[in-house]
Amino acid sequence: MGGTQIDYDNVFQYKYGEKTNSVVAIDLDQELASYDTIYTLKRNNKTYYLAVYTEKMDFHDFTSGVRIFSIENNVLKSNVKIIKTNTGLHGQLEYDYVDSFRYTDEADDDWFAIKYDEKSATLKIPVILGSGKATGNFIIYKFTGQYFERVKN
């Protein structure tokens, strides 16, 4: 496509019963996103998939996030709104950062990464300054039975 942006076609493959389905995720408007980790949350007879992605916007600017998926009636749902914030219910959270800050003496690579603990159903989102620099702090969301809700830390 020119420049430093890379276009991706995300293909999701999932099994429902005995049938395996594949879909190209063109409805997500994330042609710059590359999904690299998928976590599983099983609660209340439902399975949620927390898909972590990264988008390379230009040479140093990146966006990372997590999108919640589920499979219902043999259909992959890509906007499962179970993240509760002050602004309402959301099916994803994302943040922007500057990659060059990852390689400074005071930064730790983990400062820029979304973390999820499957045992405690806790999602940690990095706190990033307006400059794109990570602080080493995280906003923590815990699944409370129906939603991921912010935990005071």
For residue 48, is it within any domain? yes
Asked whether the CA dihedral 58, 36, 134, 127 is positive or negative, the reply is positive
pLDDT of 67-115, one tens digit each? 999 998 888 898 899 999 999 999 999 998 887 655 555 555 677 789 9
What is the SS3 assignment for 99? helix
- Alpha-carbon torsion angle 70, 38, 26, 24, nearest 10: -90
**Which is more confidently placed, 116 or 17?**
116
- Residue 23: pLDDT band by 50, 70, 90 thresholds? confident
Q: Which of 135, 143, 140 is nearest to 152 (CA)?
A: 140
For residue 79, is it within any domain? yes
- Domain holding 53, by residue range, is 11-151
C-alpha span between 70 and 54 (Å, rounded): 20
For residue 4, is it within any domain? no
Q: What is the pLDDT of residue 140?
A: 97
- Do residues 90 and 79 lie in contact, with contact meaning Cβ atoms separated by under 8 Å? no
- Residue 153: pLDDT band by 50, 70, 90 thresholds? confident
For residue 1, is it within any domain? no
C-alpha span between 25 and 10 (Å, rounded): 5
Residue with tokens 């702090």, as numbered in its chain:
137
Q: How many domains does the chain contain in total?
A: 1
For residue 2, is it within any domain? no
- What values do phi and psi take at 28, rounded to 5? -85, -10
For residue 131, is it within any domain? yes
- Do residues 99 and 62 lie in contact, with contact meaning Cβ atoms separated by under 8 Å? yes
For residue 34, is it within any domain? yes
For residue 3, is it within any domain? no
pLDDT of 31-52, one tens digit each? 667 888 999 999 989 999 999 9
